[in-house]
Amino acid sequence: MTKPRARDLDLPFPGEPGPWNAITDVPGVAVGFTTLTDPARRMRTGVTAILPRQERDWPRPVRAGQFTLNGNGEMTGTHWIEDAGYLAGPILITNTHGVGAAHQGATRWMIERYADYFGAEHAWAMPVVAETYDGVLNDINALHVTPDHAIAALDAAASGPVAEGSVGGGNGMIAYEFKGGTGTASRRARIGGAAYTVGALVQANHGIRPWLTILGKPVGRTMTEGRLLPREQGSIIVILATDAPLSALSLRHLARRAAIGIGRNGTPGGNSSGDIFLAFATADIGPMPQLDAPLLTRTELNGEVIDPLYLAAVEAVEEAVVNALVAGEDAPTVKPEGLVVRAIDCEALRRVFAG
C-alpha cells in the first residue's frame, strides 16, 4: 500500500507545487535509487542518484552553488564548485562509509557514459557524493555499498514521481527520532512574467524529537513515545534544482536558503550535524568551459528580483523533510540492538491539523 504524502494528510503547506511535487518537476532532472535491505546481514542502506542533465556521450555543465550550515559531514567536489561555479556530472547521496565506493562507481559511470569525451580529451570526473550516517539502523562498518550499487542507481535515474522514505541513501536514516530518509517537494514561482520551478530533495537524518515543528505546531513535544537520542547526532543533505537561469553566486545564495527551510521544522543545526546544501540550475550554459570560445555570453536573472525563488526553496525544503517523515516505516536498530525506530503516526499528525 502506498503511504500518503504530507499534503494527503491535509497539512496546509503554502505555495504552488509542480505536478509531481518533486525535484523532477525541474525539466531534465532525473532521480534513481539503489535500496539495500537484508536483516540477516544487518543491512539497511543504499544510494540515491540525481542527474542534473541527461545527455549522453558528452557532458554539459550546470551552474551550481554550495553552502554548509554545519560541517560535520561530507560532500565531495565542492571546492571546484566554489571556484568554478559549475558542476558536470551526477550527484549521489549515500551513507558515511559509502562515499568512496559511490565516488568510484560514479566516476566509472561517467567514463562509460561520456566515452567520446573521455576518449578525446584529457578529461577528469569530479562527481558530487554526499553522506549522512546510518549506523543505528545499518551495519555501516560492513561497507555494504559498492561501486556497482552507485552505477545501478545512476542507471535507474528517471523523471516523474520520486519514491520517498526508506529508499536509496535514505534507507537507514532517522529524523527527529522518527524513521526518516528521502523526501522531495517543489514550488513554482513567477519573475518578470516567466514561470520557474524550484525542486528540493533531502536525505533527512537530523534533529531530536522536542525540536520537531511542522507548520508552526510543536508536534514533537506531544509525540513523545519511542524516543532514542539524548542529543542531536545526525545530518541532512539538501539538493536544490531550478530551471531559472541563475548565476553561480545566486545559486550559492539559493543554497543558503535551505538552512531556513530545515529550520522551519525546528532544527537549530546541531553541532554534531552535517547540514550541507547544494543548488544547481539546469538552464543551458553551453559546453564545458575549457572547450569554449574565449568570450562567453550568458543570460542570468538579476539577483535583485529572485526573492520568489528564495521563498520557493524554503517552502520546498520544509515540505520535503515532512514528506520524508510521513513516508517512514518502522525499522529495527542494529546498534544498539533490540530497539525499533518508529515511523511518525500519520493519523495523529492529521488530527493535529484537523481542528
The ranges assigned to domains in the chain are 6-288+300-350
273 is catalytic: yes
Q: Which residues contact 227 (CB under 8 A, 6 or more apart)?
A: 177, 209
Map residue 281 onto helix, strand or coil: strand
The one catalytic residue among 134, 139, 243, 275:
275
Q: Rounded CA gap, 236 and 255, in Å?
A: 13
The pairing of strands 30-38 and 43-51 is: antiparallel
Angle at 153 between CA 150 and CA 154, to 5 degrees: 90
**DSSP secondary-structure letter at 153?**
H
Say what the pLDDT of residue 344 is: 97
The one catalytic residue among 186, 235, 247, 250:
235
Answer for the pair 317, 238: CB distance below 8 angstroms, yes or no.
yes
Q: Which residues contact 332 (CB under 8 A, 6 or more apart)?
A: 39, 137, 338, 339, 340, 341
Say what the pLDDT of residue 289 is: 66
275 is catalytic: yes
Say what the pLDDT of residue 291 is: 58
Say what the pLDDT of residue 293 is: 66
Determine the longest span between alpha carbons in the chain, in angstroms: 64
Residue 195, φ and ψ in degrees, nearest 5: -100, 135
Q: Rounded CA gap, 126 and 107, in Å?
A: 7
Helix (H) or strand (E) holding 63: strand 62-71
Tell me the fold of 6-288+300-350: L-amino peptidase D-ALA esterase/amidase (3.60.70)
DSSP string, 238-270: EEEEE-S---HHHHHHHHHHHHHHHHTTT----
Say what the pLDDT of residue 97 is: 98
Flag residues of the chain having pLDDT under 50.
none
235 is catalytic: yes
Grid cell digits, residue 286: 553551453
